[in-house]
A and B are shown apart, each in its own frame.
Chain A
Amino acid sequence: AQRVTQPEKLLSVFKGAPVELKCNYSYSGSPELFWYVQYSRQRLQLLLRHISRESIKGFTADLNKGETSFHLKKPFAQEEDSAMYYCALNAGGTSYGKLTFGQGTILTVHP
């Protein structure tokens, strides 16, 4: 069975500082990894997916199969980045859109 671990429940940084939210996974196949974000009073929404290799709102995430990690990074954090972030894994194949989520990390960016 697959598993997603986000070791930090809380992460605080100051505006302009680099930020890295950690995500580790265990899965024997080739997973699809995602980062979802939930801003205050908003619904959970997709931030980025590894297959797209994209940068969204300055965030990037690289899938490291050797370390089974998918850490989310941003070089200069902004106050509006404060939110709850979830790393999620899809096993692909007949798993359809079923996702396995990590516990989430609350990011607070201080002015």
Chain B
Amino acid sequence: NAGVTQTPKFRILKIGQSMTLQCTQDMNHNYMYWYRQDPGMGLKLIYYSVGAGITDKGEVPNGYNVSRSTTEDFPLRLELAAPSQTSVYFCASELDGTASGNTIYFGEGSWLTVV
């Protein structure tokens, strides 16, 4: 099992460019999440998905879009990148959303800088 895999690990974007952060998991988990972590701050939820074809907004969704066409993949798209989106992005997955009983698995993170 590779667990949760994110690509790319590092990326520099120019203001106004677009890009997609890829996330895939091979654990057949239904629930997937995207968090961002700004310097000195805790992780904040951007979007989440409870299954293929179902997505919903988290705490900080503005400037992002997601899709969940398969159970394995949960890409995060940045449209019109802005310096405020400079952050570390973490993808995570979980079997069925019962955090008390399950373990949430995180990817290694993707460092994004917008200049």
Residues of A at the B interface (CB closer than 8 Å) are 4, 6, 9, 32, 34, 43-46, 49, 51, 86, 90, 92, 95-104
User: 8 Å CB contacts to A: which residues of B85-115?
Assistant: 90, 92, 94, 97-100, 102-104, 106-109
Q: Which residue of B lies closest to A3 (CB)?
A: B42
Whole-angstrom CA separation of A4 from B43 in the bound complex: 11
Residues of A within 8 Å of B99, CB to CB, are: 32, 34, 49, 90, 92, 95-99
The interface on chain B, measured as residues whose beta carbon lies within 8 A of the other chain's beta carbons, has a size of: 27
User: 8 Å CB contacts to A: which residues of B53-104?
Assistant: 58, 90, 92, 94, 97-100, 102-104
The smallest beta-carbon distance between B21 and chain A, in angstroms, is 15
Interchain CB contact under 8 A, B106 and A43: yes
